Amino acid sequence: MPALELCLLVKDYFAHKYNLTDLVRTQEQDYPIQMLKLLVDGEAVGKLPCDGILATKVRSYFSRYRELFYKSKEKVLMRRRRPMERLVARADVIILPQVSHLEVMQLAHDQQAHVGHDQTVAYILQKFDWPGLHKDVARYINSCHVCQTSKFPKKRMKFPLKPLESGGPNELLQVDHLKLSTTEEGYQGVLMMVDHFSKYAVAKPYCVFYAKEKCQLVMDHWISE
C-alpha cells in the first residue's frame, strides 16, 4: 500500500489524532505484535518468548494469514486481504496495537448504534485486525452497559404471528446464515437461499459477514442463474 494512502487511512480513522509515526511506534511497543513479527520474520523457531495463552493466540492468528503478512516500507506490520474479503474493502489491513483496541471497538460498536458482534467485527476489519479480535469484541459487547440494559427488556412486546404466503416460484426468497468454524480457505459460514414456494434450496459458503458479500452471493447464485 502506498505511504500516502496508509497515512490517510490512519488519519481518517483516528480523526487526525494520530499519524503514521504514532502507529509505527505503538506497533513496536506492542508485545503481541512483537511476537507476531518474530513469526513473520521466521525468527521464532521453537517456543515464543511469552506465556502460553498469548503464544497460542498469536500462533493461531499467524497460521490463519501466514503468507499474507508483510511490513510496509514505513515498517508498519500489515496483511493483505483474501480474495473474498476484497469484495468489501480493497485496502490492506493494519495490525492494530493494543493501545488502540478500546478506541476502535468504541467507534465500531457504540457509534454504530450498538450493533452485534459480527457487524462490529466486520466494521473493524474494513481497516484493522489483531490477534484475538473476535474474542475481544465479544468481551467488549458483553460488558457494554447500553447493550445489557436496553437490548433485553424484561417485558418483551408480542406481535401476532401470521404465516408467510407465496403464490409461485421466485416470489419470496428466504435467506439465512449458518455460521461455522473458519475453514482453511477462510470461509466462516454458509448462506442458505430457499425459494418459499418450491422449497428449492441453494447453499453457498461466505468469508466475511458483510451485507455486500451476501448480496453478491444472492445475485450470482440465485438471480443470475
Binding site for Zn ion (CB under 5 A): 114, 144, 146-147
122 or 193: whose CB is closer to Zn ion? 122
Q: What's the rounded Cα separation, in Å, for the pair 138 and 144?
A: 10
Q: How far is the CB of 144 from Zn ion (least distance, A)?
A: 3
Q: How far is the CB of 152 from Zn ion (least distance, A)?
A: 11
Q: How far is the CB of 140 from Zn ion (least distance, A)?
A: 8
123 or 206: whose CB is closer to Zn ion? 123
Q: How far is the CB of 197 from Zn ion (least distance, A)?
A: 39
27 or 119: whose CB is closer to Zn ion? 119
Q: How far is the CB of 114 from Zn ion (least distance, A)?
A: 3
**40 neighbors 69 (Cβ within 8 angstroms):** yes
Residue 70 phi, psi (nearest 5): -160, 165
29 or 142: whose CB is closer to Zn ion? 142
Q: Alpha-carbon Rg of the chain, whole angstroms?
A: 21
Q: What is each CA distance from 79 to 85, 118, 125, in whole angstroms?
A: 12, 20, 11
Q: How far is the CB of 181 from Zn ion (least distance, A)?
A: 25
Other beta carbons within 10 angstroms of residue 76's beta carbon come to 20
Q: What's the rounded Cα separation, in Å, for the pair 54 and 41?
A: 18
77 or 144: whose CB is closer to Zn ion? 144
Tell me, what amino acid is at 152? F
Pairing of strands 173-179, 69-71: unpaired
22 or 118: whose CB is closer to Zn ion? 118
Q: How far is the CB of 145 from Zn ion (least distance, A)?
A: 8
